[in-house]
Chain A
């Protein structure tokens, strides 16, 4: 199937995040927890419109993709995660950006909160 032209693709935001947990967290468990807390907080309709996708997660830090106008909702959903597969955990957003490249450069190497915005 042909790819959708770039002008017609949804706009996205990339969120860099860090997990603080007692034990190492598995990627698939984090994804399960993210989906369940997003659909619990925002409902099925709200969660579907967020377009959530976990791109990268190494057990501590990761990058998440979402719809560009839903970052505040996604932040709220991330904040409601308090346990992952029974392990106490908390998620901290390092920053948001419009491309994978810039989010990696800005937030994955060193954290600078002054560059982060709420939306």
Chain B
């Protein structure tokens, strides 16, 4: 069985539940670790067993986004950008310091996909929209997911699936997320990769960069 990671979970102080509680529920669901990615306006450093330090950067302007990336990049292992705005989506995929563009909504096209593939920015399928919305909003979310999936496949953009959990009751086991991803056409192999391989690649890449003596990919001071 692969190691599963959920890369978008919110804990206290942003939400109610402490990270330890979320980790223990996630472990019972079958996750190896979860990333605590509180929004940058409510961020506090969270570490511990089973926790990957992360952040979801919220910005309304491109300059603010760049500034925040500069501040938080050395501190975290997973850096998400709170997407959904056309300009922010574009700025996020153009920046190779960004790991994941979170919920790009329907503002994702072939041009953004090319940048995302080039800069190794993964796009997120945040399934909380399917879990919580009912009726028309959920239909919209599903059709945006279908479209983004088609574009991401074509340009070979890496994909991640997350629960976007805001409490212990929001966490869903990997197999449930895979079944939900199947609703908008993602195959089981793709979904397993999006929950295990892609997150693992992001984490190892960033941990390598944090090592002392790291210069660039393949070059290290010994």
Contacts and interface: CB of A to CB of B under 8 A. Distances in A.
Interface of A: 20-22, 40-41, 72-73, 75-76, 78-80, 82, 88-90, 92-93, 113-114, 116, 118
B180 interface: yes
Q: Max chain A CB contacts within 10 Å: which of B28, B176, B177? A: B176
Interface of B: 1, 25, 28-30, 127, 130-132, 134-135, 138, 167-173, 175-180, 182-183, 188
B180 A90 contact: no
Given A20-B169, A79-B180, A80-B131, 16 more contacts: A20-B25, A72-B179, A72-B182, A73-B179, A75-B175, A75-B179, A76-B180, A76-B182, A78-B176, A79-B127, A79-B177, A88-B167, A89-B169, A92-B28, A92-B172, A92-B176
B130 A80 contact: yes
A78 B135 CA distance: 17
7 contacts: A75-B176, A76-B180, A79-B131, A79-B172, A90-B169, A92-B29, A118-B188
Contacts of B171: 90
A37 to B, nearest CB: 8
Q: Is the interface of B mostly helix, strand, loop or mixed?
A: helix
A20 B176 contact: no
A113 B30 contact: yes
Contact of B173 (A21, A40, A93): A93
Q: Max chain A CB contacts within 10 Å: which of B132, B168, B175, B180? A: B175
A73 B197 CA distance: 24
A82 B131 contact: yes
Nearest to B176: A79
Given A75-B176, A93-B175, A21 B1 contact: no
Given A79-B179, A92-B29, A114-B1, A40 B134 contact: yes
Nearest to A87: B169
Contacts of A75: 175-176, 179
Contacts of B132: 82
A73 B25 CA distance: 23
Contact of B1 (A40, A76, A90, A113): A113
